[in-house]
C-alpha cells in the first residue's frame, strides 16, 4: 500500500479512528488515526476485489506528500503498521535508506521486514542484502528491487 501524510482533502480522514475523536490541535491523534484509517481502506478495498495476502508492504517514498516533522510521519506509519498487524498480517516497509531518513528522520523502532529499492542489477541487489548502511526502519531485508530490461525485478535476500 502506498502511504502519505494527511494533507489536503484527505486530512479529515484522521479526525476519528482507533484513538477516538481527536481534538483540533491533537496532531498526534490525527496522524495515527490517519495512518490506521488509510491501511484499513486499502485492506478492505483489496478484500472487496478478492485480493488477499499474508504480507503487506507499506510504500514510503519522498514523491508522496509528507510533513516536515519526521515524528508526525512516524505516527502515520505506525498507525498503518498497527492496523495491518491487528489483521494478522506480516507488515514490511518498502523504501530506500535515503528516503526513509528524509521522511522519518531515520527512525528505527519498527523492526519489520524491509524491501530495499534502488539496486541497478541482480548482482548489486545481492550486495544490498548484506550492506547494513542501506537498512532502515530497524528491520532486516527480505527483498531488494532492481531494474532489468526496463522492468522492476526483485531479489530475495
- DSSP for 96-139, written as a single string: -HHHHHHHHTT-------EEEEEESSHHHHHHHTT-GGG--TT-
C-beta atoms surrounding 16 within 10 Å: 14
> Alpha-carbon distance 100 to 8, whole Å?
22
Domain that holds residue 40: 8-156
Residue 3 lies inside a defined structural domain of this protein: no
Residue 1 lies inside a defined structural domain of this protein: no
Domain count for the chain: 1
What integer pLDDT is reported at residue 145 of this predicted model? 97
pLDDT digits (tens, 9 = 90+) for 56-104: 999 999 999 999 999 999 999 999 999 999 999 999 999 999 999 999 9
Cβ-Cβ contacts under 8 Å for 41 (sequence gap 6 or more) = none
Residue 80 lies inside a defined structural domain of this protein: yes
For residue 62, the 8-state DSSP code is T
What integer pLDDT is reported at residue 14 of this predicted model? 96
pLDDT digits (tens, 9 = 90+) for 6-65: 998 889 999 999 999 999 899 999 999 999 999 999 999 999 999 999 999 999 999 999
The torsion angles phi and psi of 49, rounded to 5 degrees, stand at -95, 5
Residue 2 lies inside a defined structural domain of this protein: no
Residue 24 lies inside a defined structural domain of this protein: yes
pTM: 0.95
Residue 110 lies inside a defined structural domain of this protein: yes
Residue 50 lies inside a defined structural domain of this protein: yes
Cβ atoms of residues 100 and 117 within 8 Å = no
pLDDT digits (tens, 9 = 90+) for 123-153: 999 999 999 999 999 999 999 999 999 999 9
What integer pLDDT is reported at residue 36 of this predicted model? 98
> Alpha-carbon distance 126 to 144, whole Å?
8
Residue 145 lies inside a defined structural domain of this protein: yes
Amino acid at each position: 500500500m502506498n502511504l502519505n501524510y494527511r494533507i489536503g482533502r484527505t486530512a479529515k480522514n484522521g479526525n476519528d479512528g482507533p484513538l477516538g475523536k481527536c481534538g483540533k490541535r491533537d496532531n498526534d491523534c490525527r496522524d495515527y488515526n490517519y495512518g490506521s484509517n488509510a491501511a484499513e481502506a486499502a485492506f478492505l478495498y483489496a478484500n472487496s476485489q478478492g485480493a488477499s495476502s499474508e504480507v503487506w508492504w507499506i510504500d514510503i517514498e519522498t514523491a508522496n506528500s509528507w510533513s516536515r516533522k519526521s515524528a508526525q510521519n512516524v505516527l502515520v506509519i505506525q498507525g498503518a503498521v498497527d492496523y495491518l498487524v491487528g489483521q494478522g498480517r506480516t507488515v514490511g516497509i518498502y523504501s530506500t535508506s535515503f528516503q526513509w531518513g528524509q521522511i522519518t528522520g531515520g527512525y528505527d523502532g519498527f523492526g519489520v521486514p524491509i524491501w530495499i529499492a534502488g539496486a541497478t542489477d541482480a548482482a548489486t541487489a545481492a550486495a544490498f542484502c548484506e550492506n547494513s548502511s542501506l537498512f532502515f526502519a530497524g528491520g532486516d531485508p527480505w527483498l531488494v528491487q532492481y531494474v532489468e530490461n526496463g522492468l522492476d525485478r526483485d531479489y530475495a535476500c
